[in-house]
């Protein structure tokens, strides 16, 4: 935790300090759940500081220790809690955080699966954050099966925001597996996954339909769940749409999956769903509060939304899913947010440079099929768009009245 705090305070994690922490964690002789927690937190820091290979290696080590300890079993939490409900809940959260983190890194690095997606687990689902942080007792936890069958029951089992985040990651795992080969016909498996995505939204209880809580604060677990599920929609529909361009094959490491396409005969439908999901991702930027309060993994999903918009721009006016002025504003929003996050996390600083470079070329080129010179942007216009400060945009603490509900 001192390492993380030092990084946030100084905006920099030196190679010497990073290597020292890595060696300290690797040399621990006592392999316990606390070590897994430390490695998990350090994995997130390594990713945020753009040390991608080191982050993956650290997470793999954490998962290996967790499996050896049996943290995937229901009784691990109770057997290692010394009678404390809160420590028991902490162990459950540790396991499920490993699960989510494993899936996030797999998606961002274009893997066809993640290790824990197929791993047998009987760990109960976590409770709400406010119960964990401020309640006197921890509510009774439910199983994954109970949560997934909640819609068939007559009781009021809704599940925590953390549980919806886990469910979103489960769906992402099925999409990664479906997209494993561009030669596989979709068929019933695609239909089942698409139904899962739709049901995730329609089965939300009233209390989970908005990311903001009753007191105007962001529910971070639900924020991340919305972030993941909209990324899922892009990963499912974009490869089957016509939303691909040479720009999507550029060096933004966490959006390269957009370059692999197997265009469907219903590509216009896939294109529309992809654009809707991308813009919902970017809408999350406008929620109240500092962007740096959110997970560093939000950075790559912002880039994902930006790249989808840039791909759509290259197809205008063939695409019915976007207008050039709307695309332009979404890209401005994304680059502004990435620039702001780059003040805290190195990975955002690296990504925003690539996104700006691609955007300059995209906006300099005339959209495909266009006969209108009004859709082109000269160098000065491009530079004014790409080089503005985030403070110039006025969106940090504003939620527009005409925004779609998220």
Give yes or no for residue 380 having a pLDDT over 80. Answer: no
Q: pLDDT per residue over 159-182, tens digit each?
A: 899 999 999 999 999 999 988 765
The pLDDT score that the predictor gives to residue 365 is 58
Query: What is the residue-averaged pLDDT of the chain?
Result: 83
pLDDT > 60? residue 280: yes
Whether 282 shows a pLDDT value over 90: the answer reads yes
Confidence of residue 316 (pLDDT cuts 50, 70, 90): low
pLDDT for the residue 9: 60
pTM: 0.85
Lowest mean pLDDT among 49-58, 287-296, 333-342, 354-363: 354-363
Return the SS3 of 17: helix
At residue 218, φ and ψ (nearest 5 deg) are -85, 130
Strand partners, 212: 218
C-alpha closest to that of 142 among 172, 167, 169, 105: 167
Instruction: Give the integer Cα–Cα distance in Å for 147 and 95.
Output: 17
Q: For the ranges 164-178, 199-213, 307-321, which has the lowest average pLDDT? A: 307-321
pLDDT category, 12, cuts 50, 70, 90? low
> Residue 93 above 50 pLDDT?
yes
**What pLDDT score does 247 carry?**
60
Q: What are residue 5's phi and psi, to 5 degrees?
A: -60, -40
Structure confidence at residue 94 as a pLDDT band (50, 70, 90):
very high
Chain-centre distance for alpha carbon 122: 25
Rounded Cα distance, 278 and 235, in Å: 10
User: Which secondary structure element, helix H or strand E, spans residue 355, and what is its range?
Assistant: helix 346-364
Per-residue CA distances from 211 to 63, 126, 172, 219 (Å): 30, 18, 20, 6
pLDDT digits (tens, 9 = 90+) for 224-244: 999 999 999 999 998 888 787
CB-based contacts of 130: which residues, under 8 Å, 6+ apart?
A: none
């Amino acid at each position: 935790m001192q390492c993380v705090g030092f990084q946030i305070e100084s905006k920099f994690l030196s190679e010497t300090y990073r290597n020292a922490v890595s060696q300290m964690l690797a040399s621990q002789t006592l392999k316990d759940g606390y070590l897994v927690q430390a490695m998990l937190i350090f994995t997130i820091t390594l990713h945020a500081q753009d040390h991608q290979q080191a982050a993956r290696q650290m997470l793999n080590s954490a998962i290996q220790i967790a499996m050896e300890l049996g943290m995937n079993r229901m009784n691990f939490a109770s057997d290692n809690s010394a009678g404390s409900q809160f420590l028991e809940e902490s162990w459950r959260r540790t396991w499920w955080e490993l699960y989510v983190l494993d899936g996030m890194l797999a998606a961002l690095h274009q893997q066809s699966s993640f290790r824990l997606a197929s791993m047998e687990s009987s760990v109960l689902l976590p409770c709400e954050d406010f119960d964990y942080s401020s309640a006197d007792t921890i509510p009774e936890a439910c199983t994954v099966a109970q949560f997934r069958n909640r819609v068939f029951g007559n009781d009021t089992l809704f599940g925590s925001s953390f549980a919806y985040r886990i469910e979103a990651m489960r769906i992402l795992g099925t999409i990664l597996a479906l997209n494993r080969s561009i030669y596989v016909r979709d068929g019933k498996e695609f239909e089942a996954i698409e139904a899962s995505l739709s049901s995730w939204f329609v089965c939300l209880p009233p209390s989970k339909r908005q990311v903001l809580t009753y007191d105007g604060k962001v529910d971070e677990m639900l924020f991340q769940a919305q972030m993941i599920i909209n990324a899922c929609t892009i990963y499912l529909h974009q490869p089957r749409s016509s939303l691909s361009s040479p720009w999507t094959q550029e060096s933004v490491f966490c959006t390269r999956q957009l370059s692999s396409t197997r265009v469907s005969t219903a590509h216009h439908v896939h294109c529309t769903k992809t654009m809707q999901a991308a813009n919902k991702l970017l809408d999350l930027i406008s929620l109240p509060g500092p962007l740096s309060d959110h997970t560093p993994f939000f950075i790559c999903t912002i880039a994902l939304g930006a790249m989808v918009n840039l791909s759509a721009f290259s197809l205008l006016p063939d695409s019915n899913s976007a207008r050039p002025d709307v695309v332009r504003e979404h890209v401005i929003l994304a680059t502004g947010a990435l620039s702001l996050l780059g003040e805290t996390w190195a990975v955002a600083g690296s990504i925003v440079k690539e996104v700006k470079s691609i955007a300059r070329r995209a906006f300099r080129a005339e959209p495909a099929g266009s006969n209108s010179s009004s859709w082109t942007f000269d160098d000065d216009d491009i530079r004014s768009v790409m080089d503005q400060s985030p403070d110039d945009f006025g969106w940090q603490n504003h939620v527009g009245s005409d925004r779609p509900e998220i």
